[in-house]
Amino acid sequence: MKQILILLTLCMATFTYAQDELPNVRLETLDGATTTLNELASDGNVKIVSLWATWCVPCLKELDAINEVYEDWQDETNVELIAVSVDDSRTVKRVKPLINGKAWDYTILLDTNNDLKRALGAATVPLTLLVKDGKIVYRHSGYNPGAEYELYEKVQEHSK
């Protein structure tokens, strides 16, 4: 029994620790190149990572709401938003036309196999992360109107 408790404690500690680190998962850009969030988040600035999908209405509402204030956020904090689509092989073809129609000025990545989503233990989208120096410093699941202001407070707090 004691061995099982020790093993369970170690597993939970590893899982908890792993959630603080940004997973090193290969993702595809819209032009077919591959990269990782670690490569994109290595400049010391705060990054917002948003897991979203074209079929997810709350995801689109959140990214649209942020888009309205994104330029100001960048001017004030130098934050960058990386939007990672979790659309699968059936729906990924909708990503590029949607992005072009929305005119979002975000870095867009594709996680068609849901490797990042699994590595983060994300049950649902939208999932919004705040990342600094390869560490996840804030995590929020779901979207309610106005949640972007709480997110910006966290951006300001970690941009200092």
Is 65 part of a structural domain of the chain?
A: yes
Furthest-apart CA atoms within the chain: distance in Å: 58
Is 60 part of a structural domain of the chain?
A: yes
Is 1 part of a structural domain of the chain?
A: no
Q: What does the pLDDT read at residue 152?
A: 97
Render each residue's pLDDT in the chain as its tens digit; 160 residues.
555 444 434 444 434 444 589 999 999 999 999 999 999 988 889 999 999 999 999 999 999 999 999 999 999 999 999 999 999 999 999 999 999 999 999 999 999 999 999 999 999 999 999 999 989 999 999 999 999 999 999 999 999 7
CA-to-CA dists, residue 50 to 4, 10, 68, 78, 111, angstroms: 37, 29, 16, 17, 12
Separation between Cα atoms, residue 146 and residue 141, nearest integer Å: 14
CATH of the domain at 74: 3.40.30.10
Domains: count for the chain? 1
Is 6 part of a structural domain of the chain?
A: no
Is 15 part of a structural domain of the chain?
A: no
The structure tokens listed for 6 are: 């020790």
Is 106 part of a structural domain of the chain?
A: yes
pTM of the predicted protein model: 0.87
The structure tokens listed for 118 are: 């699994």
Is 16 part of a structural domain of the chain?
A: no
Q: What does the pLDDT read at residue 70?
A: 97
- Which range marks the domain in which residue 104 is found? 22-159
Q: What does the pLDDT read at residue 15?
A: 42
Is 147 part of a structural domain of the chain?
A: yes
